Amino acid sequence: DYMKFVQELERYLAAELTLERVEQYPVGRLGDIEVHFVHYNSWQEAKAAWERRKARVNWDRILILSTDRDGFDEQVFEQWKALPYPKLLFTANKKYSNHPDSLDFPQYEELGCVPDLIPKREFYKDDVLINKVNAIGGRFNDSVS
């Protein structure tokens, strides 16, 4: 669903978010895709956060972040490369790591993909992520404030 979402951002951000179900966290629906709000305890909290974030989208300064987890394969990689936005892929797979918009984590090559990088903040190590995002940010139109 993530790739479908980022391929048609305007369509999905214009869609009404509805409650699909509640598991350990709320799960919403935007048309034909699900949105998992894993960091929220209630539907009300998740929907309010969604509306705030949606209102802050700056169409001139979009950066798509992705990982090579959860079914990321050659077909998804081709779709990802074709996205019309600046993008950054966190990967442990040599097939994808040579792409200029990839950030390689070779220590996870045996896993076949990057794990959840947030707990250890590994993507901040040595300012690698910040430097990469700043380089990508140079592609944005400088006239936009």
pLDDT tens, residue by residue, 60-118: 888 898 999 888 999 999 999 999 999 989 899 999 988 988 888 888 899 888 887 76
Range from 15-19, 36-40, 111-115 carrying the lowest mean pLDDT: 111-115
Q: Does residue 145 have a pLDDT over 50?
A: no
For the four alpha carbons of 87, 37, 112 and 75, in that order, the dihedral sign comes to negative
Q: How many residues does the chain have?
A: 145
CA distance linking residue 62 with residue 44, whole number of Å? 26
Strands (E), the chain: 17-22, 26-30, 33-36, 64-67, 87-91, 102-104
The residues with which 60 forms a beta bridge, in sequence order, are none
pLDDT given at position 115: 85
Q: Does residue 141 have a pLDDT over 50?
A: no
**pTM for this entry:** 0.79
Closest C-alpha among 71, 65, 140, 139 to residue 102? 65
Q: Does residue 43 have a pLDDT over 90?
A: yes
